[in-house]
Structure 1
Amino acid sequence: MGKMKLGLQMWSIHDVCMKEGICKAIEIVKELGYDGFEFAINDRGTVEELFGVKPAEVKKALQANDVKGIGYHASSRLLFENPDPILKECVELEIPYAAIGPAFYGDRTPHKKQIEIIKKVEKAAKIFKSNGVQLQVHCAAYGYLHDYKGRYTVDGMFEDVGLEYLQPEFDTAWMICGGVDPAEYLHKYKGYVDILHFKDYRPLSKDEDSEYILVRHDTVNDYHFGCAVGDSGVLDIAPIVRAAEECGTKWAVTELWNEPDSLENARISAQNLKKYL
């Protein structure tokens, strides 16, 4: 199998992006040792709305620094309301993937509502696919709650929409938090996980841990156990990279929390991941 390339998700250095501007941030991304950049706009609309920079300027910055725009995290709410602005930016920036979260909280969401949401996801996924952009689900921890058929929420979404139109963008931290073995799940979806997020967090104590996914998820977030990838966290990087390469994953993408020194943590993460890529 070919080796994966290394990318950085925008949220990891969002403080730098907002302070320096998106074009300067892309330059810094290359200096940190990354070949790709994944935009993370979510509820803030589009890249142009957030940064006040035309897509043509952003594309120019990507090309000038030899950085590939690999993905675009979008708000499912905005995507359902009107996919056109997000799709337009993806096409203009030549970004091949767009991602949303699981879109509902498993069986905490009424069954009828779950079905309605999945139909909206399917509609959006087919629109994006017809325009050359693959829609993905960034598999947050609550994606491993159970849906109206007793499946993991993310499994149900892939099954109901079809992997041709909707594919996984797994996140290693949330896989572990959700009780899923990363290597096992990569093999389950072999050939369909083009982007894998490497996110890490410091182990919880027995008093802090919980059998319930959402409590464990909120504990990790609220008490900020995030860390640079491979920096005394929960990840065993080597077998995850090996499984990803066996399964055809194209991009290993660093994703960080609100780290106190985002650039240093991004740099450490790149150094640690490159030992295995």
Structure 2
Amino acid sequence: MSDMKLGLQMWSIHDVCIEKGMPEALRLIREMGYEGFEFALGDCATLEERCGAKPAEVKKALQEYGVKAIGSHISFERLLEDPDPVLKDCVEYEVPYAAIAPIFYGDRTPFEEQRRLYKETVRLSRLFKENGIQLQVHCAAFGFLKDYKGRNTVEGMFEECSLEYLQPEFDTAWMICSEIDPHEYLAKYKGYVDILHLKDYHKIPEYSPYVLVRHNTICEENYGCGVGDDGVQDVGDIIKTAEKAGTKWIVTELWNEKNSLENARASADLIKKYL
């Protein structure tokens, strides 16, 4: 029996959060066996701006249904504009983690801009740490493009900030899409991958050597699927490796397509077999 816990990322059931409200969404996921919930703010600064939910009602529902607010996916662009409302929202919900996306599109971004954004990330990662929140990078596919030093962008972010201040939140779909072996990266960053996103997709019929073509094909042509739904990964093996790496939360991330609740439930049922 693993000590790892099971969470759900908000985008997976974003439609439910909007249509039924956050309290009902939290009740439904707890019934499925999810113990934690990770907010996803998109380009908004706060959860209330994202889905209209008041902090008091969300915190009441979290407590009532026994769901832990694990963290929040936040907008790096909004942080650059003004970090105060974003940080205040994270503090309000007492989340231990906050995640940003990779901060630029590899060497498609001018080198001076890359350097500037690295410096901003260092500053913001320390600001969050001072407020008791561990900043992470949710490693989307474009984070595996090369920076001006020839590093994968996410690895550049870790090196510039140090793993004390910025940690990985790997996403298995985008690792595999980017031809990164999840087992290799989980071992490489052992002790620093507190949250691992399990996301899956059906194998795409045509191969492209460029990661963003593969990424866009998956996103635009609806190859996303529920975790383990005849996807591209061995869920059980990845979870075993995550446990060895010290991961605390296995988080389901889905594509928010039709039947989001059904996919969330099926994914939970599968993952729980390995926890």
Q: Is the 8 A contact 1:8 1:38 kept in 2?
A: yes
1:257 aligned partner: 255
Contact 1:56 1:93 in 2 (8 A): no
Identity of aligned residues (%): 63
> Secondary structure of 2:29's partner?
helix
The alpha carbon displacement at 1:103 in A equals 1.3
Aligned to 1:130: 130
Letter in 1 for 2:246: G
Q: Is the 8 A contact 1:98 1:134 kept in 2?
A: yes
Note the C-alpha offset of 1:85: 1.1
Contact 1:259 1:265 in 2 (8 A): no
Q: Is the 8 A contact 2:42 2:50 kept in 1?
A: no
Superposition map of 1:186-201 within 5 A: 186-201=186-201
- Corresponding residue for 2:222? 224
Q: Deviations over 1:3-27 (max 9, x none)?
A: 2100000000001011011121111
Structure 1: distance between partners of 2:240 and 2:250: 12
Aligned CA RMSD, in angstroms, stands at 1.1
Structure 1 counterpart SS, 2:41: strand
* Amino acid paired to 1:87: L
Q: Does the 8 A contact of 1:80 with 1:121 survive in 2? A: no
Q: Offset at 1:42?
A: 1.9
- For the residues of structure 2 that align with 1:45 and 1:161, how far apart are their CA atoms? 23
Instruction: Give the whole-Å Cα distance in 2 for the aligned partners of 1:275 and 1:104.
Output: 37
Query: In the alignment, what sits opposite 2:213?
Result: 215
Distance 2:202 2:52 in 1: 36
Q: In structure 1, what residue type is equivalent to 2:78?
A: L
For residue 14 of structure 1, what is the aligned residue in structure 2? 14
User: How high is the TM-score relative to the length of structure 2?
Assistant: 0.98
Indicate if the aligned counterparts of 1:72 and 1:99 stay in contact, CA closer than 8 A.
Answer: yes
Question: Is 1:3 paired with 2:3?
Answer: yes
The corresponding residue for 1:47 is 47
Q: Which residue of 2 aligns with 1:202?
A: 202
Q: Distance in 2 between matches of 1:32 and 1:118?
A: 40
Q: Is the 8 A contact 2:44 2:78 kept in 1?
A: no
In the alignment, what sits opposite 1:241?
239
1:100 equivalent to 2:121? Answer no
Q: TM-score, normalised by structure 1?
A: 0.97
Letter of the structure 2 residue corresponding to residue 32 of structure 1? M
Distance in structure 2 (CA, Å) of the matches to 1:52 and 1:203: 36
- Specify the alignment match of 1:79 in structure 2: 79
CA deviation vs aligned residue, 1:243-275 (integer Å, no higher than 9, x gap) = 100011000000001321000000010011111
Unaligned 5+ runs, structure 1? none
Query: Deviation at 1:45?
Result: 2.5
Kept in 2, the 8 Å contact 1:56–1:92? The answer is no
| Aligned match of 1:116 | 116
